[in-house]
Structure 1
Amino acid sequence: MQTPGAATRRLPDISSAAFLVVAFLTGIAGALQTPTLSLFLSTEVHARPFMVGLFFTGSAVIGIAVSQLLAARSDRKGDRRTLIFQCCLLGALASILFAWNRNYFVLLFIGVLLSSFGSTANPQMFALAREHADRTGREAVMFTTIMRAQISLAWVIGPPIAFALALGFGFKVMYACAALAFVCCALIVRFLLPSMQRTAVKTTATLQAPIGHRRDTLLLFIGCTLMWACTGIYLINMPLYLVHELNLPEKLAGQLMGLAAGLEIPVMLIAGYCARRFSKRALMRCAGLSGFLFFVGLLWVDSAIPLLLLQALNAIFIGILAGIGMLYFQDLMPGQAGAATTLFSNSTRVGWILAGSLTGVVAEFWGYHAVFYCTLLMMLGTLYCMWRINDA
């Protein structure tokens, strides 16, 4: 005979489904904007390669400041759901500004500030999801992995749609669609995500990893930063590299990114399953090796088919990094889901600082192909960090 508690547990969990939809919509918003941003700045704003790189660097710096401020607040007091709702609305405003404004400095200082709040919704959503999984007794690794797979699913269709909208209907339409995605996300957050009130913590101590894990957390942060920097270089450089040096069609960039995102989904799910049997450090090492081989390949191939085949290595690289990296931070910082998730998110932003700076300078003086040599050095640094982490 089935007990009432068992029957209740089998009822559909609307909140869990809402988390998956929100993850997909935030992924769509990002996938519509990030792959085409360098092309937008180059063609619509008429920025030189150095200014394009500076834009990405400034965006990352502002994003770190915003996310750290919100992360410290969210882990101490308030309702994370309300914060996510507000960030989604500010993200929509940022998309509207990009749709109608073409002044480089207005976009850099105002547009990027609003976008930083919009992008902060993502780590806060994962922090809320971890708390929800812990409260409801769900298996946190697979729940987070499936959520992250929704973002990859969004990136399967997002980049091709972004390039189709931008090239076929203009950037105004593309950014308007991104704004719509943020608004839909805000509505779902407001009415369907769970509310978990937090009381103010009477302490001024900085949220950090336990003493025994600080060294490992620092090594993990450096390794993730270098991996995200390589990914940022790829996203910034590849559309311009294809067009200006390989003379390949612009839409191929969207196809490459969409294919990689599609392959990332099974990689993430497999990695989430393997995390039960193997250490997260071993999986992160696998990601580093795959990334190194991927960027070696980029230096040697110059046609569409080999570039498409290389996306298998790119998918292993990003799939494990995005799916396991955040969980690794959370394991090293127990009880600090917001701070750990934001630290992982900030490794992305610091990586974008490196990516924007290097891509702009190297492309300006030595061309787009030379930029990929920087990624090889970064991947070697990543492998060094991953091999130094103590997994005891």
Structure 2
Amino acid sequence: MKRPNWLSQRFNPIFAAFLLIAFLSGIAGALQSPTLSLFLTTEVKVRPLWVGLFYTANAVAGILVSFLLAKRSDTRGHRRRLILLCCVMAVGNCLLFAFNRDYLTLITLGVLMAAIANTAMPQIFALAREYADNEAREVVMFSSVMRAQLSLAWVIGPPLSFALALNYGFTIMFLIAAATFVVCSLLVGFTLPSVPRAKAMDNTLQGGTTVLIDPANAWRNRDVRLLFIASMLMWTCNTMYIIDMPLYITADLGLPENLAGVLMGTAAGLEIPAMLLAGYCVRYFGKRNMMLFAVLAGVLFYAGLVVFNGRSALMALQLLNAIFIGIVAGIGMLYFQDLMPGRPGAATTLFTNSISTGVILAGVLQGALVENLGHYAVYWLAALWMSTRVRDV
């Protein structure tokens, strides 16, 4: 009897399924996202303006759909079935992009299917949180390990995406992404648990009495609003960097184009130990202090991009970038969940929507800043914004 108990404490097949699903979903997403603008330009043959409009429509639709589905998942319905529906929509979306080249169809039906599909990831994390709470497991470390799977996927996915698209065509790339989502669907259907729905009202002790907190009023909480604004602006800074950096290092610094891929891959690789270390340290320093440390790393990173111009210095700065993103991506989601007890789906979706809102804002700001003030203005603004986010964390 002791041997099975010993094994169950060290290896939990359900936790392993969560990790594998997070990794495969990340791989499938990382196959599509990096080459989307190239696909729209070369295959669908639309102007840059319509490429930008597609990204904006995709982000807006994602925010609206994910909020609606998150609300339903936290109040009624079956979270595992919702994840399965999202995976099926992801398969359909990949097949649509594989065989369709009509822009109107892609920006309507394709964006709608993508919005439903993208809800899978926050729902997977929400179900993982519910399962860990129900089993009295270590939530922070497990969530950090899950988030690290996404970083690992983004180390592998983008180079594989370009290799498949450029050497075998976009149809093959999207079909491989569809097959990956099919595997995810099977894993979700046969391995993930059905966790009993938590009560809609969260009980907390205050002065010896039980106080009912209505989770529907969570957005009225000043801390939730400030955290959303802080998270949104941090992701805005990160997205402006991702958009601008390849242009900046070639146009202003005169460095080779392939360095952009090396910098992104290095940062993604370093994010994994950063997330795991953050998950370990949060029990000693607390979520707020860890987030403040991430903000400090972000300020130093963006300021360093202006001060240092050499290849080696830019590579070294990726450590600060990894610390910043690793903590914000891992601890930030849990911070939202703690501020919205009883609604892990809505809290996780609010976190992911702060990312989507940041993407929308970054696309507008980056273009306007570069056109009027140059590339340096992007990083000065990012450093300034990061330094002002301390009071909101």
Q: TM-score range by the shorter chain?
A: 0.7 to 0.9
How far apart in 2 are the matches of 1:173 and 1:246? Answer: 36
Name the structure 1 match of 2:126: 127
Deviations 1:185-205 (A, max 9, x none): 111101111123549969xx7
Q: Could you tell me which of 289, 292, 295 is aligned with 1:282? A: 289
Please tell me the root mean square deviation across aligned C-alpha atoms, in Å: 2.8
The aligned runs of 1:108-257 (5 Å cut-off) are 108-196=107-195, 198=197, 207-209=216-218, 214-241=221-248, 251-257=258-264
Alpha-carbon distance change, 29 to 248 in structure 1, aligned in 2, over 3 angstroms: farther
Structure with the greater relative contact order (CA < 8 A, sep ≥ 6): 1 or 2? 1
Alpha-carbon distance change, 363 to 95 in structure 1, aligned in 2, over 3 angstroms: farther
Task: Quote the offset at 1:374 in angstroms.
Answer: 4.0
The aligned runs of 1:373-388 (5 Å cut-off) are 373-386=380-393
How far apart in 1 are the matches of 2:99 and 2:374? Answer: 31
Contact 1:145 1:272 in 2 (8 A): yes
Name the structure 1 match of 2:332: 325
- Normalised by the length of structure 2, the TM-score is 0.87
Task: Quote the offset at 1:130 in angstroms.
Answer: 0.6
Contact 1:92 1:180 in 2 (8 A): yes
Q: Are residue 348 (structure 1) and residue 347 (structure 2) matched?
A: no
How far apart in 2 are the matches of 1:296 and 1:29? Answer: 33
How far apart in 1 are the matches of 2:165 and 2:295? Answer: 33
Name the structure 1 match of 2:265: 258
Deviations 1:69-123 (A, max 9, x none): 0000000111111100110111122223233334444333322221111111000
How far apart in 2 are the matches of 1:101 and 1:71? Answer: 30
Task: Quote the offset at 1:352 in angstroms.
Answer: 1.4
Work out the number of aligned pairs and report it.
381
Task: Quote the offset at 1:221 in angstroms.
Answer: 0.8
How far apart in 2 are the matches of 1:304 and 1:89? Answer: 43
Alpha-carbon distance change, 249 to 193 in structure 1, aligned in 2, over 3 angstroms: farther
> Bigger CA drift: 73-82 or 176-185?
176-185
Q: Are residue 339 (structure 1) and residue 354 (structure 2) matched?
A: no
Alpha-carbon distance change, 359 to 311 in structure 1, aligned in 2, over 3 angstroms: same
Contact 1:99 1:173 in 2 (8 A): yes
Name the structure 2 match of 1:98: 97
Contact 1:164 1:251 in 2 (8 A): no
Task: Quote the offset at 1:324 in angstroms.
Answer: 0.2
Alpha-carbon distance change, 104 to 381 in structure 1, aligned in 2, over 3 angstroms: farther
Contact 2:200 2:215 in 1 (8 A): no
How far apart in 2 are the matches of 1:263 and 1:339? Answer: 29
How far apart in 2 are the matches of 1:366 and 1:34? Answer: 28
Deviations 1:138-173 (A, max 9, x none): 111111111111111111111222222233333333
Equivalent position SS for 1:194: coil
> Bigger CA drift: 228-237 or 67-76?
228-237
Equivalent position SS for 2:29: helix
Task: Quote the offset at 1:60 in angstroms.
Answer: 1.4
> Bigger CA drift: 372-381 or 219-228?
372-381
Task: Quote the offset at 1:61 in angstroms.
Answer: 0.9
Supply the AA of the counterpart residue of 1:73: R
Task: Quote the offset at 1:229 in angstroms.
Answer: 1.3
Contact 1:95 1:175 in 2 (8 A): yes
Alpha-carbon distance change, 190 to 239 in structure 1, aligned in 2, over 3 angstroms: farther
Alpha-carbon distance change, 4 to 164 in structure 1, aligned in 2, over 3 angstroms: closer
Task: Quote the offset at 1:331 in angstroms.
Answer: 1.2
Alpha-carbon distance change, 379 to 70 in structure 1, aligned in 2, over 3 angstroms: same
How far apart in 1 are the matches of 2:126 and 2:175? Answer: 28
Contact 1:156 1:258 in 2 (8 A): yes
Equivalent position SS for 2:231: helix
Equivalent position SS for 2:285: coil
Name the structure 2 match of 1:390: none
Task: Quote the offset at 1:383 in angstroms.
Answer: 3.0
Task: Quote the offset at 1:43 in angstroms.
Answer: 4.3
Supply the AA of the counterpart residue of 1:234: Y
Deviations 1:212-255 (A, max 9, x none): xx111111111101111122223333345556666655544333
Alpha-carbon distance change, 118 to 178 in structure 1, aligned in 2, over 3 angstroms: same
How far apart in 2 are the matches of 1:176 and 1:253? Answer: 27
Contact 1:264 1:318 in 2 (8 A): yes
Unpaired runs of at least 5, structure 1: 387-392
Q: Could you tell me which of 291, 296, 301 is aligned with 2:298? A: 291
Contact 2:299 2:387 in 1 (8 A): yes
Unpaired runs of at least 5, structure 2: 202-213
Contact 1:72 1:207 in 2 (8 A): no
Contact 2:299 2:384 in 1 (8 A): no
Contact 1:267 1:315 in 2 (8 A): yes
Name the structure 1 match of 2:55: 56
Equivalent position SS for 1:323: helix
How far apart in 1 are the matches of 2:250 and 2:141? Answer: 39
Contact 1:53 1:357 in 2 (8 A): no
Task: Quote the offset at 1:283 in angstroms.
Answer: 0.8
